[in-house]
């Protein structure tokens, strides 16, 4: 695995996985562009998730909802009121920080001041942040007296009172910018699933339990985007909302925890690198009955959330439904006078309408990329003493499956055979197969090691009957990325050989 974030950042840029967004105009913080290899790896991760969670199950449907949503969706979901982080400004340099990020490194000092100023101590870090947020005037004093430093300048800052900052991106819809003509870029894909619940049920005749899966972009105006693609403002999520009979929710929660851990394992991210955080009651989001956060051990950052698996009770459908009063909701929801749909489904035993409970496994594609790359990253010292970097990606995730390399790029008899092989292998539908005549063979091997290509196929003079050994006619050399073994394979058997290896 990678030892530092820096190693990954440099590989990603050098080989074309990830670039800074809007780079030629100085870059835009919190936005990244996925390059030629990044888009392949990302697509492969998403395809693996879709295969496992939609195709390989019979209790799941897919969805692709729109990104810009009606403001009432985000009002009734609770995001207008609560999707905000407290933040503070440093009056000395006008830099703005998230309160929790700012306090994190000096929490002992701040805690001591809070105890003194507010006459009570907070029992943990979230409680400390909550106390500061609830008492803005004293918070600003506490930050000053504790001598909290500005992470940018390193100097003690002059801090304002914490203010809530809503992280949703708002945009004008249509030609007239009046009071009601705005919508939001969705801050999570989940809301599109809840608002389509009735459509999916009615069009598929689903009965409980079943789930809806969606992959797509979400947008959060993070105050401090950082750590490469770990915290970005335009992100992609892979989310499932699994609807079940109230009372069976705890079992399904455990089911999904297990499923998701084994999926990560199959992508090369082992369980031993993921800590399961059973989020303490007092830290739970208002809609959550219980949440497991999967905390992957990122290089440089340490354990940070890669996926959250939440039991959201009947909060979401209960918030978006009409006739809330008749439905015996368990969750505490705000009144909804706007919705025109009753979001219920017949109970499988009684046939009475019921608002199902929801289990939500929600993973970030960008954070998945980072974890997959980090686990695959390997530095090896070879027998001859030289060092190589190799990405030991699982073959189904590799951006390029096979590179076909003609040993001489100006010899028609060789290049035509190589092109024919590329065409045949491409036709297998395994993913990208690359015809590669960009440099000498050693350089090509090094490049393909670094981007994780499982096999390189070389067409040489022996292949076309112009070498030393006539027995080698119509055979090619196949080089294995991980073992470096080179094997001579008959062209007529190459497709099935590759297919067997990449399955
Ligand atoms: P964090 O506490 O790190 O901000 P969160 O608890 O707000 O994350 P959720 O709302 O649970 O995250 O979102 C589900 C998943 O979406 C996360 O597990 C993560 O993989 C991904 N995600 C959330 N915010 C971001 C972001 N700003 N950049 C990249 N991925 C993100």
What pLDDT, in 10s, does the model give residues 155-185?
999 999 998 889 999 999 998 878 788 999 9
User: Locate tokens 């399904």: which residue?
Assistant: 252
Mean pLDDT of the 89-103 span:
90
Distance 237 CA to ligand 1 centre (A): 9
Ligand 1 atom closest to the CA of 368, numbered from 1: 20
Nearest residue (by CA) to ligand 1, atom 31, is: 364
Ligand 1 atom closest to the CA of 367, numbered from 1: 20
Which mutation among 223, 294, 308 tests ligand 1's pocket best, with the greatest number of atoms within 8 A of CB? 308
pLDDT of residue 311: 98
Tell whether the model's pLDDT for residue 439 goes beyond 80.
Answer: no
Nearest residue (by CA) to ligand 1, atom 14, is: 362
Which mutation among 30, 222, 364 tests ligand 1's pocket best, with the greatest number of atoms within 8 A of CB? 364
Tell whether the model's pLDDT for residue 128 goes beyond 90.
Answer: no
Say how far apart CA 57 and CA 339 lie, in whole Å.
32
Residue 57 CA to chain centroid, in angstroms?
Answer: 22
pLDDT of residue 64: 98
Nearest residue (by CA) to ligand 1, atom 8, is: 305
Ligand 1 atom closest to the CA of 237, numbered from 1: 16
Nearest residue (by CA) to ligand 1, atom 9, is: 308
CA 242, 248, 252, 253 torsion-angle sign: positive
- The CATH number of 398-502 is 3.40.50.800
Nearest residue (by CA) to ligand 1, atom 16, is: 364
Nearest residue (by CA) to ligand 1, atom 3, is: 305
- Determine how many CB atoms are found less than 10 A away from the CB of residue 374: 23
Nearest residue (by CA) to ligand 1, atom 20, is: 364
Pocket of ligand 1 (CB under 6 A): 188, 220, 222, 231-232, 235, 237, 305-308, 362-364, 366-367
pLDDT of residue 452: 98
The domain segmentation of the chain, as residue ranges, is 5-65+186-373, 85-166, 398-502
Nearest residue (by CA) to ligand 1, atom 12, is: 308
Please report how many Cα atoms fall inside a 13 Å half-sphere around the Cα of residue 299, on the Cβ side: 19
**pLDDT tens digits, 350-365:** 999 999 999 999 999 9
Question: Which residues make Cβ contacts (< 8 Å) with residue 267, sequence separation at least 6?
Answer: 45, 48, 368, 372, 394, 397
Distance 136 CA to ligand 1 centre (A): 26
- Determine how many CB atoms are found less than 10 A away from the CB of residue 42: 21
57, with CB counted inside 10 A (0-12, 13-18, 19+), is: middle
Question: Which residues make Cβ contacts (< 8 Å) with residue 137, sequence separation at least 6?
Answer: 161
Mean pLDDT of the 219-240 span:
94
Q: Is the ipTM of this complex over 0.90?
A: yes
Distance 458 CA to ligand 1 centre (A): 43
CATH class of 5-65+186-373: alpha beta
pLDDT of residue 83: 86
Say how far apart CA 394 and CA 268 lie, in whole Å.
7
What is the architecture of the domain spanning 85-166? 2-Layer Sandwich (3.30)
Nearest residue (by CA) to ligand 1, atom 25, is: 231
Helix, strand, or coil here: 457? strand
Distance 75 CA to ligand 1 centre (A): 20
Percentage of residues in the chain having pLDDT higher than 90: 83
């Amino acid at each position: 695995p990678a030892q530092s974030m820096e190693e990954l950042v440099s590989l990603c840029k050098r080989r074309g996985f990830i670039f800074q967004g809007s780079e030629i105009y100085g870059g835009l913080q919190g936005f990244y562009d996925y390059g030629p290899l990044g888009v392949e790896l990302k697509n492969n991760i998403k395809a693996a998730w879709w295969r496992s969670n939609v195709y390989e199950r019979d209790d799941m449907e897919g969805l692709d909802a729109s990104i810009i949503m009606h403001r009432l969706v985000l009002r009734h979901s609770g995001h207008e009121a609560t999707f905000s982080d407290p933040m503070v400004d440093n009056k000395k340099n006008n830099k703005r920080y998230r309160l929790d990020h700012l306090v994190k490194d000096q929490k002992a000092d701040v805690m001591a001041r809070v105890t003194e100023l507010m006459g009570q101590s907070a029992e943990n870090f979230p409680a400390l942040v909550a106390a500061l947020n609830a008492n803005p005037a004293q918070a600003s004093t506490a930050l000053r007296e504790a001598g909290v430093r500005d992470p940018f300048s390193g100097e003690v800052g002059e801090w304002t009172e914490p203010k809530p900052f809503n992280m949703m991106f708002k945009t004008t819809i249509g030609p007239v910018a009046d009071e009601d003509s705005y919508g939001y870029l969705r801050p999570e894909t989940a809301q599109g699933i809840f608002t389509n619940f009735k459509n999916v049920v009615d069009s598929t005749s689903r009965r409980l339990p079943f789930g809806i899966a969606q992959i797509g972009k979400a947008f959060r105006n993070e105050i401090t985007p950082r750590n490469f693609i770990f915290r970005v403002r335009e992100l992609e999520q892979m989310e499932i909302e699994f609807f079940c009979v109230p009372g069976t929710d705890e079992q399904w929660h455990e089911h999904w925890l297990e499923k998701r851990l084994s999926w990560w394992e199959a992508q090369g991210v082992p369980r031993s690198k993921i800590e399961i955080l059973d989020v303490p009651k007092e830290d739970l989001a208002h809609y959550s009955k219980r949440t497991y956060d999967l905390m992957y051990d990122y290089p440089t950052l340490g354990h940070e959330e890669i996926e959250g698996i939440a039991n959201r009770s009947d909060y979401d459908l209960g918030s978006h439904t009409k006739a809330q009063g008749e439905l015996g909701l368990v969750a505490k929801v705000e009144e909804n006078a706007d919705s025109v749909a009753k979001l219920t489904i017949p109970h499988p035993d009684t046939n009475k309408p019921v608002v199902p409970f929801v289990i939500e496994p929600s993973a970030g594609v960008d954070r998945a990329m980072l974890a997959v790359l980090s686990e695959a990253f390997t530095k090896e010292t070879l027998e001859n003493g030289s060092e190589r970097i190799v990405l030991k990606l699982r073959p189904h995730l590799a951006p390029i499956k096979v590179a076909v390399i003609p040993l001489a790029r100006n010899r028609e008899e060789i290049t035509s055979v190589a092109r024919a092989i590329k065409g045949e292998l491409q036709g297998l539908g395994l993913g990208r197969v690359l015809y590669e005549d960009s440099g000498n063979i050693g350089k090509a091997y090094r490049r393909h090691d670094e981007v994780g290509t499982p096999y390189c196929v070389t067409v040489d003079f022996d292949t076309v009957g112009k070498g030393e050994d006539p027995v080698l006619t119509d055979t090619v050399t196949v080089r294995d990325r991980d073992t470096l073994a080179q094997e001579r394979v008959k062209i007529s058997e190459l497709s099935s050989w590759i297919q067997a290896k990449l399955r």
